Amino acid sequence: MNKGADSKVRKKTYAMRYVAGQPAERIFPPGTMLHADQAFPSGALLPTEATLRVLVWNIFKQQRADWLSVLQNFGKHTHLVLLQEAQTTPELVRFATANYLAADQVPAFVLPQHPSGVMTLSTAHPVYCCPLREREPLLRLAKSALITVYPLSNDDMLMVVNVHAVNFSLGIDVYSKQLGPIGEQIHHHQGPVIMAGDFNAWSRQRINALYHFAREMGLREVHFTDDYRRRAFGRPLDFVFYRGMRVAGASVLVTQASDHNPLLVEFHPGKPALL
């Protein structure tokens, strides 16, 4: 692809922000990265005294029954919900805006009625929002990622990376290419980080590339005792990585409401003990 065509694709990358009582807002990638000395807008903060609860789920475009009841049961009391394959149907937007201060979605591709892509719901307004897209080389469908940053009540900033990795590609060139701009942002971020989603790590090459990336970024993997994560070729597809925090609990919720099971992780903000 020539430079002109490439910039055209990049210009189309944006996030849609849904907030109760306000029209949906289109947010384009920022020109500069967030720096620690930037002033925060006033508003709600994510907690640092109590447990920070995070739900991660590929929601399968809400094609199966009971997806809403799963979100209502498990998503209502979480501070962050990271969805992949979230279709902006009226039901999902209603749930998001009724229970969260902000919902940001990156439309990866448009289905007949509603766009589908990663969506992050949060009980605090993000102070930074960077949508990313990467096109799959074989199917020509795009996968999306979203980087948002939230102020914590201890004056730290939490970077949250919601990823739906490219699925159908020969080798790992495009897979690694998608991780590149994510790594650049994590590398420049001083505070805690949560990176989670559907990484489509179904081959040895892919999982090695993902683990190598996590090590380079100083991220740890969340481990699940009863590991009922969706698998392909024996390898899990959904992961949660983190740094600058402690894991208080982690579980996989078994459900028929999607082709993936949701991951629920509880964090205590604050540095983990040294290994």
Asked whether residue 28 is assigned to any structural domain, the reply reads no
Q: What predicted TM-score, i.e. pTM, was given to this entire model?
A: 0.90
Q: Confirm whether 19 is domain-assigned.
A: no
In a domain, 64, yes or no: yes
Res 221: pLDDT: 98
Say if 222 falls within a structural domain.
Answer: yes
pLDDT score for 170: 66
- Residue 126: give the domain boundaries: 44-259
The residue ranges of the chain whose pLDDT is under 50 are 1-11, 36-37, 39-40, 274-275
Domain of 195, CATH number, reads 3.60.10.10
User: Half-sphere exposure of residue 117, counting CA atoms within 13 Å on the CB side?
Assistant: 26
The total of structural domains in the chain comes to: 1
**Domain-embedded: residue 29:** no
Cα separation, 122 vs 206, in Å, equals 29
- pLDDT of the residue at 35: 52
Residue 4's pLDDT is what?
44
